[in-house]
């Protein structure tokens, strides 16, 4: 089984690139199940109902979120949809779910979404203990467990990978919008990559116009970010999973 994880969709350009590339990639790579991170789909902050529909119509099986989950108020209209999830370690009682279980090719696939705490100014519960609790709850009910860990610090992502090594099928990081070259199968069998990158403006600073970002760095003054335009990039990672063992055999980074 081949499972594709697509990097953070940034703005309308990112959605257009997803619409252009996803079906082709799925066909060429014989992808069976697709996860897309959509927390930046609404011009860099949050997701609208139309964004959500466009992502699903493009060929995604589910959508994960992150620190901009609540960036658009209309998300409260569809946050309980079974094909979208918000980070599981938001405080107990928050609407929506931090994981869902899907059926694909006679397999039960659990997708978990969690958010880091290092360098992210959001009040959340401990992502390590919350995620482990979910894993222990569902491990006997599913064949495959995947985690989108939306975090800033590479060390926190690496720590999560080792913490869950042997307990989940694969973990991939999102949020930094820069794809890393450290894809690997950890010692106890869990597939891992620190960050899968982004789908959005290529000639940009993590999806934003270069001029605005540079002004912030050069002057220290506030400057409103704007989504860049022009050429787009499609970042994703495919995990090839053995149908008998349910373990990752191969990890392929895709950059189109």
Do the Cβ atoms of 55 and 26 come closer than 8 Å? no
Secondary structure E strands in 187-247: 191-193, 198-201, 232-241
Of the listed 68, 100, 175, 177, which one is catalytic?
A: 68
Residues in the chain, overall count? 256
The CB-side HSE value for 223 (13 A sphere, CA atoms) comes to 17
Strand bridging mode 107-115 / 144-150: parallel
68 is an active site residue:
yes
Give the C-alpha separation, 182 to 197, whole Å.
12
Q: Which of 81, 78, 138, 79 is nearest to 110 (CA)?
A: 138
What are the angstrom distances between the C-alpha of 108 and each of 4, 56, 167? 16, 20, 16
Q: Which residues are catalytic?
A: 68
């Amino acid at each position: 089984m081949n499972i594709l994880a697509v990097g953070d969709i940034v703005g309308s350009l990112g959605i257009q690139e997803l619409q252009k590339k996803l079906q082709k990639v799925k066909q060429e790579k014989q992808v069976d199940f697709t996860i897309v991170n959509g927390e930046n789909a609404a011009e860099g902050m949050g997701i609208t109902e139309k964004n959500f529909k466009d992502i699903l119509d493009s060929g995604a099986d589910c959508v994960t979120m992150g620190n901009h989950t609540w960036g658009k108020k209309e998300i409260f209209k569809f946050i309980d949809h079974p094909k979208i999830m918000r980070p599981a370690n938001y405080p107990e009682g928050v609407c929506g779910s931090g994981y869902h279980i899907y059926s694909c090719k006679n397999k039960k696939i659990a997708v978990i979404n969690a958010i880091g705490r290092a360098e992210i100014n959001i009040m959340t519960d401990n992502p390590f203990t919350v995620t482990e609790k979910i894993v222990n709850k569902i491990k006997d009910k599913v064949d495959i467990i995947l985690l989108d860990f939306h975090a800033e610090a590479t060390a926190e992502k690496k720590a999560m990978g080792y913490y869950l090594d042997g307990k989940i099928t694969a973990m991939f990081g999102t949020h930094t919008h820069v794809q890393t070259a450290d894809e690997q199968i950890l010692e106890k069998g869990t597939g891992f990559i620190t960050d899968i990158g982004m789908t959005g403006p290529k000639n940009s600073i993590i999806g934003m116009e270069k001029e605005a970002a540079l002004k912030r760095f050069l002057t220290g003054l506030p400057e409103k970010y704007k989504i860049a335009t022009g050429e787009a990039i499609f970042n994703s990672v495919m995990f090839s999973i053995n149908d008998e063992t349910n373990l990752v055999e191969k990890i392929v980074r895709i950059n189109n």
